[in-house]
Each structure stands twice: as structure tokens, then as C-alpha cells.
Chain A
Amino acid sequence: MNRSQTSGFFKAIGRVLPRQGLLTTEEERRPYECDGLSGYRELPLAVALPDQVEQVQKILSICAEYEVPVVARGAGTGLSGGATPHREGLLLCMTRFDRIIDIDPVGRTARVQPGVRNLLISETAGRYGLYYAPDPSSQIACSIGGNVAENAGGVHCLKYGLTVHNVLRLEVVLMGGERVIIGSEALDTPGYDLLALLTGSEGMLGVVTEITVRLLPVPSTARALLASFNDVEVAADAVARVIGAGVIPAGLEMMDNLAIRAAEDFVQAGYPRDAAAILICELDGTQAEVDRQVELVSSVLREQGATAVRVSSDETERLKFWSGRKNAFPAVGRISPDYYCIDGTIPRRQIGRVLRRIAELSKDYDLRVANVFHAGDGNLHPLILYDSSKTGEFERTEELGGSILSLCVEAGGTITGEHGVGLEKIDQMCVQFESCALEQFHQIKSAFDPNGLLNPGKAVPTLARCIEFNARHVHGGELPFPELERF
């Protein structure tokens, strides 16, 4: 846009929004320059803060007319750069859509606006004995709109599913400004499953302006087990054994020694500081059922070589067991100037082997790696510790991350289990998908957004980019050329 077009655009957008709804000065825009992936920063052209769906519709239609890119943003806790602004684009911040519109205790649903924080839904539904199951570790801060866009998971997804399993209906505004309802309060809608397609679409297909989620009854009993191991691979193998015993725990998480010590120093959860790894396993259901499962799982864990198994005796202790896990990321943040979270998922039986290989890579790259992850789902979260003030260290970190993701694909897994591709993993998409599948993704995108204005440059790489990436990397991604610049 030239200067007069830009001022025409600002005027048009300004007319739609309430006062203080459009931020244009550098000082005002600065706080929005990155999401949780702070290694990627960009100042947007402007930030819009609408609070009504009609405003979103008008904004998107004006942006379509001026051909201005739009990046939706929830709470900005995303870890893949999904909400990183576009330099020539409008950042559409949805935080003012912060109302819980309705909770229906009979039909067990909640109708909420996208800016509502994940945890607030469960807190509000709690008075009816209901809750919203997907519980990302960021749940005090992240928005439900961002959860839908990323198909967020959490520690209880093993038993209760991801966001896609718990959303019933969306109100979405398309790039031209049209409003459309996807899904319904019934259990299905005729035609294509657009609800599944929209969930996890990283703000590329439409802007979500209202969400109806399914609520579940709060289990009458929940108890957590804390098992210690003196070998990481033994702990990893125990994960598959628990599942193999026919038990689906409500959560099954693993932490390695570096993560255990960081968490212990931060919140004193009572973890064994000298253990090579711990597993936290939650079992829920009716009292009788839980008692039996606790017995069964304890004996499986002991047989598998756990050196100690503690069972929470009351709610306080259960929450204490979890506190270390839930605070593990910030805890790791205290022992290193920066950390970088990887999100590959692998088949459970590969966990031991892949963790061993990650430890080797960690040595090769001379960067510490802490592991704290959703073991029951096979969803790894290696945290690479680095210092961005040291030249070349961020680049080395990214290379290590890329190698870990290639390792996950090779092990039969995927480059992202819950954090999304965003900007961060866009090159690794070339490792995971054939070019015709990527081309099919581009066509899906065009079906919703023919001019490619919503969150451009994210999630799906262009074929040209993949050709370039593959030329730089020996197949399998194991031999990077660190001297070549990325981004």
C-alpha cells in the first residue's frame, strides 16, 4: 500500500472500532510483536481490538478490499509463531471477546467467546459439577480461540481427547467478512466435517468468533501415582506396559532428571531429585474403580523397575504431584536464559530409543535438553536450553530442534503433536509431507481464503521452499549445513 492507501485503510478500520480499538503507534504495537515463540519477532502494521462479531466482519471485508493480510491472535501463548504478526498486515487481537455467553447444565455445553481463558470455562462450569476436559499447561493464560486454532492438548487428553474431540460448534468469519456456523449442538452436521478441518487450522481458514464446547462431569475420584526410575529407558518402557495392561489413565506424564530438579527447585513438589526419570500417572472414575486401578498400575510400574511408587493420599497431595509438572516450563526457564520447546509425537514404544538419541544429539550440539512430556500420548517436549545473547546459539538450537523433529518423523511420528506448525516448523513440513499432499493443503486453504490473506506464510510451506530446504538438507534431515542462513 502507498501512503494514501494506508491512511484510507486506517480510516476505514478506525470507523469500525470503538475508541482505543486500533493501535498504530510503535509503542502500542510493540507488545504484540511475538507470541510464546519469542525468537521470532515482527511489528504489525496495526493492531485491532474488536469486541463484536460485526466489527470482525467489517474488518475482514475491509482487509479483503485493501488486500491487507490478517493475523488473528488469542492470548499469544502459542509456541510455533502462529500469531507472529505480518509486517504489512493487521493483527486481529481477540482478547476483548472474553464473555462466557451461556452454560447449559442439562445439555452439558458451554457457549463462549474466543478470548475466554481455557481455565475459566472449567472454573465456571464447576458449580454444576462439570468441566472442560482439554487442559493445556498454559490453561490459566491461553484462550479457547487459540486452543481451537491449534487443536490444543493437555495432560488429560489421553483419556478425554484433544480440543477437536470436545468442540461442538463454531461461529467463524471468513476472509470476505461472511459469517458461517460450523457444527451444531447436535452431535453431527450433514456434509463435510468442517469442524474437524477448522480445528487446528492455525488461523488460516477463518476467524473464530464463538465456540460451543462439550462439558464433562467431574470424576468423583482422582488419584495420582508418582513413580521413580533410575533409568530413563526403563521408565519409557513402563509407559507402554501401563497402556498394554488395559488401563487408560486420565494422564501419564514423564520428566527426566534435569526437569525434575528444575521443578523441585521452583515449586517443591516432593519429587525425588536423584531419580533419572519420574512418571506421574493419574487415575480417575468411581472410588471402587480407582482403587482397583491404583493397585494394578502400581504393580505394573514396580514390575517394570520403578524404584519407588507413591500414591496421592488426598486432593492436596494429588495437586502437589501435578504442581511440578504444570510448572515445569517456567521452572526450566529459571535455569537457562532461554529455552526452546520441541513438540514431536512418536509411537509410545519408540520413546526410549528416541530419548537416547536426543541425549546423543544434545552432546553433539553441546546444548542441554530437559524432557518433560505427555508420555501416554507419545508427545515429546524436549526443551533445549540456550542463551540467545551468545552468537550462533539460537541458530544451533534451531538446527538441533530440526534434527529432533526429523528423528520423530523417522520413528513413525509427526513434527507437531499440539503446538502447531506456525512459522517455526514450516521447513519440517517438507520432511513429513509429499509435495502433492502439501499442494492439496494449499487448495484447501484457497477454498476458504482464495487470495491467501489470512495468516500468510504459516503452517504449509510453498513447494519452492521445500525444494530449497531439501537441497540444503541431506534426506532425513540428519546432516544440516549450519553455515547457511535460515529465514
Chain B
Amino acid sequence: MSALDRCDSIVAAVTEAAERETALQIVGGDTKSFYGRQPEGALLSVGEHRGLTHYDPTELVVSARAGTQLSELCTALANERQMLPFEPPGFGDQATVGGTVACGFSGPARPYRGSLRDYVLGVSVVNGRGEHLQFGGRVIKNVAGYDASRLMAGAMGTLGVILDVSFKVLPIPEAECTLSFESGEREALRRMNEAAALPLPITGSCYYDGILKLRLSGSAVGVSAATANLGGVVDSLNNRLWEELAEHQHPYYGSPLPLWRLSVPAAAGPLDLPGDSLIEWGGCQRWLCSELPAEHIREAVRAAGGHATLFRGGDRSGQTFQPHDPVLHRLHLRLKQAFDPHRILNPGRLYPEL
């Protein structure tokens, strides 16, 4: 797809909305409209603001406009044998870079290689006053000014319309291997934690239906040495497994029930919540298909030291993200005020008051 710079028209649209104080609903590829609270406001499309603006493989840095398709970015990187280390799911072919950053999604490698925000080096955004701002940059280390770039990751567009993003990238590992182990849940959680405490190149973990899977990636010699160390059965059947998990194409995600994402500490044991579940991220990310009341789920997860997100389905008019205590809530309100005083950018998408 051809590169286009739509920066001026996006800035103009936000400036106008700010003057009129009318709400904008920011849309990239429209693949993640299921996520967060119900979107509202006039459509502001950034899908046409696209193209890679900078890529130098030896610098391990890539910059792209927000409307660039995630697949286009990943292909450009793969051509140089590089990748986005956090393996973001797209949830659809049209997924864009901007939408991915706004949602802050990371894939199976998250606990081992880091999250999306860990790899964000810089952004350019339009805030709710229509100001075009640049934060961070294209270098790996940069502590000048507050880290407003990483603040955009997961903010669901409520602090600024993302125009450009620079990421740190890494080489694609030479070899990969998946191991399977039959196991109960408690045992699987224990094994995930034990494996992560060993100096082995683990890059993925999943437990579902009595089977624990571990993924190893690295140099061919490193992976085969680690395979020998861990035991288990080499799983050569499904090489799309990790992608299916990330994209929610795995059979587990066929349920019509509301889908909850539970984020808990690695060392948390099995959660006492009825319903079909799938565990990832070394025990830190657990999925639950359940119609239990939100409060019930959140209470159990809070007790385990984590939080619960209504990820897909269910009642989107309430709180899809776990509510904050009063002090944190106030900080959120004030930050929203600092970036978007008229509350025009994706109002209510993240929390009702933001």
C-alpha cells in the first residue's frame, strides 16, 4: 500500500473538534472495536496516514505512521530477519500500528522478552488541544523529559491521537521448538515458574486442557541444549500454535460466553473461579469464559494480587477495566485533563470519566 502523510488533516480535525468540544472516536483498521467500553463520537480515521518512515536494520529501530498495517510492518522487518519482539496480536488483517499501541497488546513472548510498551522508543501524537507533540525518539536510551511515549501504550487513544511510533526491534531467532507436558493445573503453574527461573531461552508458555506447552527460541545449539534440559515431548504437529493463541484463533476462544482476561502475579496458584480457562505468560495471563458477575471475578483476582478485564462480549456499558482506588482515579482524571482538557479523544472508552 502506498505511503501517505495525513498528519495535517488529522491535526486539523482534532483542532476543530477541540474548538467545538465534540467527541472523536479514533479508528485505525477497525479490528479492535470490540475492546474497551463502547466507542462514541464522530469517526476520526487515521488508517490512511500510513507507511514506514524510517528503518535501519543495524540500528534495530523502525518508525511507522499510525495507519500502517501491522502486517506490512512485520513483513518489512521479516525481510531483514527482524521482528517486533512482543509479538502483538492484530485481531484482524486490517490491524494498524496505532491501534496496536493504543490497546497495548502483546503476545506469547511478553513475560520473557517484554511488552509492547517496553519496545516503544518514541511517538508523535496530537493531544486534545490539537497540538502536535513529539516524545522520545529513535535511540534506545533516552531519559530527557517525562516518558510520555510509553504513556500512550494502552491509553486507548484517550490522551492523544497517535501519528507515528518508533519501536526497538530484534533479530528473529534462528530456531524455535515447542515442548509438551501432560500435567494438572497446579503442577503446570509450578513448572512454568521453575522453567522461567532457569537460564534457558524460553519464549512462550501455555496451559490448556491438561497439557502444558513451552516454547524455546534462540540459536539452534541453544534451543537443542535447552530441549534436552527440560525433557517433555517435542511438539511438531502445530507450528501455528503460538500465533493461534495470540490471535484468539485457538479452539478455546470459540465460546459464546463473555471472555475475561485475568492478569495476576506469576506465583499465584490456581484461581478459585468456575469456568473454562486457559493460562499463558508463565501463569501471569489467564483467560476465563464466564458469565459470573464482574464483581465476583474481580474480587477473586484482586485477592490474588491482580486485575480482571472484560476482554470481549458481556456488558460494555459498565467498567470493562478494573476500577481504581480514589487516589489513582484522581491521578488518571488529572492526566486526562492535562492532555485532553475538553475530553474529546475517545471519551469513556477506557473508563467512564476519562
Closest Cβ–Cβ distance, residue B179 to chain A (whole Å)? 16
CA distance A32 to B196 in the complex (A): 43
A191 touches B328 (CB 8 A): yes
Residues of B within 8 A of A454 (CB): none
Residues of A within 8 A of B142 (CB): 345, 414, 416-417
The stretch among A18-26, A69-77, A432-440 that forms the contact with chain B is A432-440
A107 touches B193 (CB 8 A): yes
A440 touches B154 (CB 8 A): no
B78 at interface by CB-CB < 8 Å: no
A186 touches B221 (CB 8 A): no
Closest Cβ–Cβ distance, residue A213 to chain B (whole Å)? 14
A417 touches B147 (CB 8 A): no
Query: Which of A215-252 touch B at CB < 8 Å?
Result: 217-220, 240-241, 243-244, 246-248
Known A107-B265, A199-B147; contact A187-B281, beta-carbon cutoff 8 A: yes
Cβ-defined partner of A187 (8 Å) among B58, B81, B111? B111
Known A186-B307, A187-B284, A217-B197; contact A377-B141, beta-carbon cutoff 8 A: yes
A218 touches B127 (CB 8 A): no
CA distance A184 to B324 in the complex (A): 13
B338 touches A417 (CB 8 A): no
B133 touches A185 (CB 8 A): no
B159 touches A192 (CB 8 A): yes
A360 at interface by CB-CB < 8 Å: no
A447 touches B334 (CB 8 A): yes
Residues of B within 8 A of A164 (CB): 118, 147, 150
B196 touches A108 (CB 8 A): yes
Cβ-defined partner of B138 (8 Å) among A107, A197, A347? A347
B314 at interface by CB-CB < 8 Å: no
CA distance A182 to B147 in the complex (A): 15
CA distance A378 to B142 in the complex (A): 10
Query: Which of B176-211 touch A at CB < 8 Å?
Result: 193, 196-201
Closest Cβ–Cβ distance, residue A227 to chain B (whole Å)? 18
The stretch among A91-99, A149-157, A361-369 that forms the contact with chain B is A149-157
Closest Cβ–Cβ distance, residue A317 to chain B (whole Å)? 21
CA distance A487 to B143 in the complex (A): 23
B226 touches A180 (CB 8 A): no
Closest Cβ–Cβ distance, residue A57 to chain B (whole Å)? 12
Count how many chain B residues have C-beta atoms less than 8 Å from C-beta atoms of the other chain: 81
Closest Cβ–Cβ distance, residue B199 to chain A (whole Å)? 4
A418 touches B143 (CB 8 A): yes
A140 at interface by CB-CB < 8 Å: no
A244 touches B199 (CB 8 A): no
Known A244-B57, A246-B81, A287-B225; contact A188-B200, beta-carbon cutoff 8 A: no
Closest Cβ–Cβ distance, residue B191 to chain A (whole Å)? 12
A382 at interface by CB-CB < 8 Å: no
CA distance A348 to B59 in the complex (A): 6
Known A165-B114, A217-B198, A286-B225; contact A191-B351, beta-carbon cutoff 8 A: yes
CA distance A217 to B197 in the complex (A): 5
Cβ-defined partner of A185 (8 Å) among B57, B154, B221, B265? B265
Closest to A182 in B: B328
B141 touches A162 (CB 8 A): yes
A392 at interface by CB-CB < 8 Å: no
B117 at interface by CB-CB < 8 Å: yes
Known A162-B141, A187-B110, A446-B338; contact A440-B131, beta-carbon cutoff 8 A: yes
Residues of A within 8 A of B57 (CB): 244
Known A244-B57, A433-B145, A437-B134; contact A193-B139, beta-carbon cutoff 8 A: no
Cβ-defined partner of B171 (8 Å) among A165, A193, A246, A434? A246
A267 at interface by CB-CB < 8 Å: no
> Chain A 389-426, CB within 8 Å of chain B: the 1/0 string?
00000000000000000000000111111111100010
A486 at interface by CB-CB < 8 Å: no
A217 touches B199 (CB 8 A): yes
A243 touches B58 (CB 8 A): yes
CA distance A397 to B91 in the complex (A): 54
A345 touches B141 (CB 8 A): yes
Closest Cβ–Cβ distance, residue A337 to chain B (whole Å)? 29
Cβ-defined partner of A441 (8 Å) among B111, B146, B201, B324? B146
Closest to B152 in A: A193
Which residue, A285, A291, A377, A448, has most C-beta atoms of chain B within 10 A? A285
B332 touches A161 (CB 8 A): no
B266 touches A414 (CB 8 A): no
Query: Which of A313-360 touch B at CB < 8 Å?
Result: 345-349
Known A184-B307, A414-B144; contact A218-B139, beta-carbon cutoff 8 A: no
B305 at interface by CB-CB < 8 Å: yes
Residues of A within 8 A of B154 (CB): 188, 192-193
Residues of A within 8 A of B118 (CB): 161, 164-165
B147 touches A191 (CB 8 A): no
A186 touches B284 (CB 8 A): yes
Which residue, A157, A413, A425, has most C-beta atoms of chain B within 10 A? A413
Closest Cβ–Cβ distance, residue B237 to chain A (whole Å)? 26
Closest to B194 in A: A106
CA distance A240 to B263 in the complex (A): 38
A187 touches B148 (CB 8 A): no
Residues of B within 8 A of A443 (CB): 338-339
Cβ-defined partner of A412 (8 Å) among B115, B134, B137? B137
Which residue, B127, B199, B284, B322, has most C-beta atoms of chain A within 10 A? B199
A259 at interface by CB-CB < 8 Å: no
B155 at interface by CB-CB < 8 Å: yes
B218 touches A285 (CB 8 A): yes
B137 touches A286 (CB 8 A): no
A104 touches B267 (CB 8 A): yes
B252 at interface by CB-CB < 8 Å: no
A201 at interface by CB-CB < 8 Å: yes
> Chain A 164-197, CB within 8 Å of chain B: the 1/0 string?
1100000000100011111011111111111011
A429 touches B145 (CB 8 A): yes
CA distance A180 to B328 in the complex (A): 7
Residues of B within 8 A of A379 (CB): 140-141
7 inter-chain pairs at a CB distance below 8 angstroms, sorted by A residue, are A186-B265, A193-B155, A286-B222, A289-B221, A347-B59, A347-B139, A414-B143
B interface residues (Cβ-Cβ under 8 A, vs A): 56-61, 81, 104, 110-111, 114-115, 117-118, 127, 131-135, 137-148, 150-151, 153-155, 159, 170-171, 193, 196-201, 218-219, 221-222, 224-226, 263-267, 281, 284-285, 305-307, 309, 321-322, 324-325, 327-328, 331-332, 334-335, 337-339, 350-351
User: Which A-B residue pairs are the 4 nearest by beta carbons?
Assistant: A107-B267, A196-B150, A289-B222, A447-B334
Known: A130-B197, A243-B58. 5 other contacts (CB 8 A): A108-B197, A184-B265, A197-B147, A289-B219, A349-B59
